Structure 1
Amino acid sequence: MPGFWMVRAGEGGYLAKEFVEKECVAVGFDGVGSFEQLTTLGAFKGRLLGVYPDDSPGKRAGAAGVGHKFRTLVQRGDRILTYDPDTRLYHLGRVEGDYEYRPGFVSDYSHVRRVKWDRQILRDTLSSGVRNTLGSTLTLFEPGDAILQEMLRSGVSAETPAVLDEEDRGDETTIYLEQLSRSHEFIADRVNRLSPHEMEQLLAALLRTMGFKARVTLPGPDRGRDVVASPDGLGLQSPRIFCEVKHRKGSIGAPEVRSFTSTLRGDDRGLFLSTGGFTREAKYEGDRSHVPVTLVDLEELVRLVVEHYEQFDTVGRALIPLDRVY
Structure 2
Amino acid sequence: MSDVICWGLHAGRSGEADRLFRQQNRIGIGWPQMGDLAELAATRTAFKARFGDVFPDEKDGAIPVKAGMLYRFLHEMERDEIVLYPSKITKKIHIGRIKSDYRYDPSFLRGYPHQREVEWLKEVSRTHFSQGALYELGSAMSLFQVQNYAEEYLAALEGRELVSETEDDDSVSLVAEEVEQITRDFVQKRIEAELKGHPLESFVANLMEVMGYHARTTRDSRDGGIDVIAHRDELGIEPPIIKVQVKSTSGTVGIAEVSSLYGTVEASEVGLFVTLGGFSRDATQFAATRSNLRLIDGEEFLDLVLRYYDDLSSKYQAVIPLKRVFIPEAVEEAADG
TM-score, with length taken from structure 2: 0.46
Higher Cα radius of gyration: 2
TM-score, with length taken from structure 1: 0.48
